[in-house]
Amino acid sequence: MCYKGIQVTRLIHDRYAADPARGFYGAGAIDARFDFLPASFALHGLPPDAPKWGSEYKKLFTTYFNRSMTLLSHTSSLAQAKNTVTFDPDVKDAWGLPALRITSDYHPDDLATIKWIQSKQIEILQAAGAQKIWCQSVEMIDNMPGRHLMGTCRMGHDPATSVVNAFSQTHDIPNLFLVDGSNFVTAARQQPTATIQALAYRAADHAIAAAQRGEIG
């Protein structure tokens, strides 16, 4: 029998502040949750040393599914000029339009941050009395899940280095406002929804005032 209900997830910000003494820039929020449904847990949730089939597999699945939790983190991700989103000169999509080409790599500080925050997650689980702890290898970072996409239309004062101004208004098209996670100049260390909502309210107030002044139509 499986008794998992709707997940409850909360962040702690004890490790949110960066500290130069660590030797790298970065920190993060630690998120406790259980993201798996039975089928996905059966495929991806069991520890690496668990059998992949048979009666022992079924036994471990039932035991672990009802007694497991996961810790995840939202960590810093430094912006780099070499990370770009451009149109591919050769590849086309189903409509014959240029496909997007995403070029991205992690800053060494990002990797150091992940390793550090992972060690803090292990400390929490140990303090909670976990009987077995397993982690995803940081070396497998390219296969790690990503959520809350941010960046590509960064906010700034200089049109040469940013896409939108402080009010999410594009520098070159006054009537165009881009209000979403693309405005972020670095990845947030927590879920960014509330910040995006705040930016949207500010953009709306600015757009209304600009329209009243006749600056945009």
Mean pLDDT of 108-117: 92
Q: Residue 189 has what pLDDT?
A: 83
- Give the model's confidence band at 38: pLDDT under 50 very low, under 70 low, under 90 confident, else very high: confident
Q: Supply the mean pLDDT for the chain.
A: 89
Is pLDDT above 80 for 2?
A: no
Angstrom distance (rounded) from CA 131 to CA 103: 40
Mean pLDDT of 133-155: 77
Per-residue pLDDT reduced to its tens digit, 160-206: 999 999 999 999 999 999 999 999 998 888 888 899 999 999 999 99
User: 10 or 116: whose pLDDT is higher?
Assistant: 116
Is pLDDT above 80 for 141?
A: no
Q: Residue 200 has what pLDDT?
A: 96
Amino acid in the structure at residue 19: D
Cα torsion angle, 208, 210, 213, 217, sign? negative
Per-residue pLDDT reduced to its tens digit, 15-24: 999 999 999 9
Is residue 97 within 8 Å of residue 88, measured between CB atoms? Answer: no
Given 44, 74, 107, 148, which residue is catalytic? Answer: 148
- Residue 171 annotated in active site: no
CA-based nearest residue to 148, from 73, 86, 37, 41: 73
Query: How is the chain split into domains, by residue range?
Result: 148-217
CA-based nearest residue to 189, from 58, 74, 65: 74
